[in-house]
Structure 1
Amino acid sequence: MKKSVGIIGANGYTGSELVRLLAFHPNVEIKLLYSRSKAGVKISDLYPDLEAVCDLVLTNEISQVDILFLCLPHKESRNWLNENPISDETLIIDLGNDFRLEGNFGNRNFIYGLPEIYFNEIKESKSIANPGCFATAIQLALLPLAKENLLKDVYTTGITGSTGAGQSLQPTTHFTWRNDNISAYKTLNHQHVDEILKQVNVLNNQEVELNFVPWRGDFARGIFTSSIIGCDLESETIYSLYKDFYKDSPFVKVSEKPIDMKQVVNTNFCVIQIEKQGNKIAIHSTIDNLLKGASGQAVQNMNIANGWEQNLGLNLKPVAF
């Protein structure tokens, strides 16, 4: 029997991506698409790409389901749960940032949903805080070195597509501004830094300083990050560390060839490459911000929490051209 799914905030980018993924998932059935602002509107009228995928109408009325995804703006999930009591038996996966640093909420304790380090905890949980997009890409680049206590000062740059800013139109997401343009934002002050350090410092035995400069790119989706650290290990040793760390992680690929973002767009994969010059290494990582950085990882967490194969419903080919 298929499990019933509800998506709160289904009218946004991450919500609509969940519709696209879950409509073809063999073990679930979408029963609820919730939106306060678009109630009464058919989801395919908002997203024509869903015309042949889902014919559900958005509603502002709640019904109980087995699995609930919260795709609300940041800092709204906690308030929504306070206003809408949900059964303790319902699996909740929050794609916002409300529970990433502090997971306690009533009877629930939200587990940080990065499967590559918290698989066992996710498997036993009914409350999962999905990681942020930049946080996912950067953590996956750094965690193998953190395990070996090799991190101290980290300098990271990362570029993201316009969908990372959400659906609401802003001056920096308008086509005439974004096209043929690039800019830095939230320099050394991005909201994902605390999230990254909390997890990295679990493995690393010394405090890590992360100096992160994010960039806005003139493309719709995807993230590419590069992190530079001091390291005296040989390249072969470093690659062995990474391949061993991710040997049981089906969505992380370690490449010894140059990588690019199109290898991961429209997939739940993270691809990592390391380059070494002297006593410095650069760790490149790339993900789709809406999939491994949001909705795809949420489905991966759903699969783990239900005891299903991690890649169920996530066998997606990258968009190469």
Structure 2
Amino acid sequence: MIKAGIVGGAGYTAGELIRILLRHPSADIVWIHSSSNAGNDVSDVHADLVGECELTFTDQMNFETVDVIFLCMGHGKSALFMEEHRLPNHLKVIDLSNDFRLNRDNNEFIYGLPEVNRPKIRGCRYLANPGCFATSIQLALLPLAASHLLDEIHVHAITGSTGAGQAPSATTHFSWRNGNVSVYKAFGHQHLSEMNETMRELMPGFDKAFNFVPLRGNFTRGILASVYLDCKLEEAEAMDLYQRFYSTHPFVTISKKPVDVKQVVNTNKCLLHIKKHGSKLHMVSVIDNLTKGASGQAVQNMNLMFGLDESEGLQLKPVAF
């Protein structure tokens, strides 16, 4: 059994990670760290785990008792954690923050998008889990990038309120978010850097604009990304390219019918729908921001790092309605 510890256990991604690991046939949670909640039951914070989890939060981190730790802290805190702690050689680290996703040539952390880096992920020690928007959008573009078919990229993508984290803010307050949609960080979202880095790894010399307009949605979880660009492929050729590219990747499905967020909520799936409109190739990508966009992908990466089938423990049920 893989012994796991969780650092920063009170947030949304940690809660989702706990739910998945509790039912993982090859993993056990040994401890869940939270300085502010030390001594409290985990189910006091993650109330849906009443009757499911008997663990309490701790302010201690015994690295010798675990094989892997998941860093579920805010951006900037993981880098500080790695500076401040001397970790035993056997310990693997999966970071869910933005701290180690960039500068991959000079970085000990492997970028954990399995659909690109599966061979590198297998057996690695340090892993940087991709961002949620970045996962959804990149999965819409990888086959084109790998075939050197990228042109100027246009993306509108909408995310649920859990994408903003558990700490309350003006734009996550129910009375503001409910019945409302808004744009934020247009053309300057932090996930642009990691997406551009991946595109250039697959298509060296790519220098076209990557236009990304994110939106806040009035729902709790899920991402829908609408991605389009000029492409010389016919629709049937594009479908064939995508199906071949993802044929060995268990969590990406090419759908002949339009896709929507409810088809993927609570799962580790990505659904892609591809359509040609004149010279434009249009891809719609849907994922759950907390599973394939965060904790589910982290477990998928854990499976690969420890030599398991990457889908183990991730056969999750979509909600549908």
TM-score category (smaller protein)? over 0.9
CA gap 1:102/1:80 in 2 versus in 1, 3 angstroms: same
Query: What secondary structure sits across from 1:121 in the alignment?
Result: helix
Q: What are the equivalent positions in structure 2 for 1:141-160 lying under 5 Å apart?
A: 141-160=140-159
Query: What secondary structure sits across from 2:169 in the alignment?
Result: coil
**1:314 matched to 2:314:** yes
Residue deviations 1:214-258, cap 9 Å, x none? 000000000000111001211000000000000100000011111
Q: Which has the larger displacement, 178-187 or 82-91? A: 82-91
Alignment correspondent of 1:210? 210
How far does residue 124 in structure 1 lie from its aligned partner after superposition?
A: 2.3
How far does residue 104 in structure 1 lie from its aligned partner after superposition?
A: 8.3
Q: Unmatched 5+ residue regions in structure 2?
A: none
**1:98 matched to 2:99:** yes
Q: 1:79 and 1:134 mapped to 2: Cα distance?
A: 24
Q: What are the equivalent positions in structure 2 for 1:128-167 lying under 5 Å apart?
A: 128-167=127-166
Alignment correspondent of 1:3? 2
Q: 1:26 and 1:4 mapped to 2: Cα distance?
A: 12
Residue deviations 1:112-136, cap 9 Å, x none? 0000010010002011000000000
Alignment correspondent of 1:76? 77
Is residue 123–residue 307 contact of structure 2 (8 Å, CA) maintained in 1? no
Q: What are the equivalent positions in structure 2 for 1:170-181 lying under 5 Å apart?
A: 170-181=169-180
Query: What secondary structure sits across from 1:31 in the alignment?
Result: strand
Is residue 104–residue 110 contact of structure 1 (8 Å, CA) maintained in 2? no
Q: What are the equivalent positions in structure 2 for 1:1-321 lying under 5 Å apart?
A: 2-64=1-63, 65-102=66-103, 109-205=108-204, 206-321=206-321
How far does residue 40 in structure 1 lie from its aligned partner after superposition?
A: 1.5
How far does residue 88 in structure 1 lie from its aligned partner after superposition?
A: 2.3
Residue deviations 1:46-77, cap 9 Å, x none? 11111122111111111121110000001110
User: In structure 2, what residue type is equivalent to 1:319?
Assistant: V
How far does residue 3 in structure 1 lie from its aligned partner after superposition?
A: 1.9
Residue deviations 1:238-289, cap 9 Å, x none? 0000000001000000111111111100000000011111111111100000
* Coordinate RMSD, CA, aligned: 1.2
Is residue 201–residue 208 contact of structure 1 (8 Å, CA) maintained in 2? no
How far does residue 103 in structure 1 lie from its aligned partner after superposition?
A: 5.2
Residue deviations 1:61-103, cap 9 Å, x none? 1112111000000111010122222112111000001100035
Q: 1:219 and 1:172 mapped to 2: Cα distance?
A: 13
Residue deviations 1:29-50, cap 9 Å, x none? 1011001221111110111111
Query: What secondary structure sits across from 1:293 in the alignment?
Result: helix
User: In structure 1, what residue type is equivalent to 2:93?
Assistant: I
Query: What secondary structure sits across from 2:35 in the alignment?
Result: coil
User: In structure 1, what residue type is equivalent to 2:85?
Assistant: N
How far does residue 14 in structure 1 lie from its aligned partner after superposition?
A: 0.5
What TM-score does the superposition give when structure 2 sets the normalisation length? Answer: 0.97
4+ residue segments displaced more than 4 Å? none
User: In structure 2, what residue type is equivalent to 1:170?
Assistant: S
Q: Unmatched 5+ residue regions in structure 1?
A: none
How far does residue 188 in structure 1 lie from its aligned partner after superposition?
A: 0.2
Query: What secondary structure sits across from 2:239 in the alignment?
Result: helix
Identify the structure with the greater helix proportion.
Answer: 2
Identity %: 49
Q: 2:315 and 2:210 mapped to 1: Cα distance?
A: 33
How far does residue 195 in structure 1 lie from its aligned partner after superposition?
A: 0.5
Q: 1:126 and 1:141 mapped to 2: Cα distance?
A: 28
Q: 2:81 and 2:105 mapped to 1: Cα distance?
A: 15
Q: 2:157 and 2:299 mapped to 1: Cα distance?
A: 24
User: In structure 2, what residue type is equivalent to 1:82?
Assistant: E
Query: What secondary structure sits across from 1:233 in the alignment?
Result: coil
Q: 2:122 and 2:277 mapped to 1: Cα distance?
A: 40
Is residue 151–residue 231 contact of structure 2 (8 Å, CA) maintained in 1? no
User: In structure 2, what residue type is equivalent to 1:97?
Assistant: N
User: In structure 2, what residue type is equivalent to 1:99?
Assistant: F
Q: 2:287 and 2:154 mapped to 1: Cα distance?
A: 19
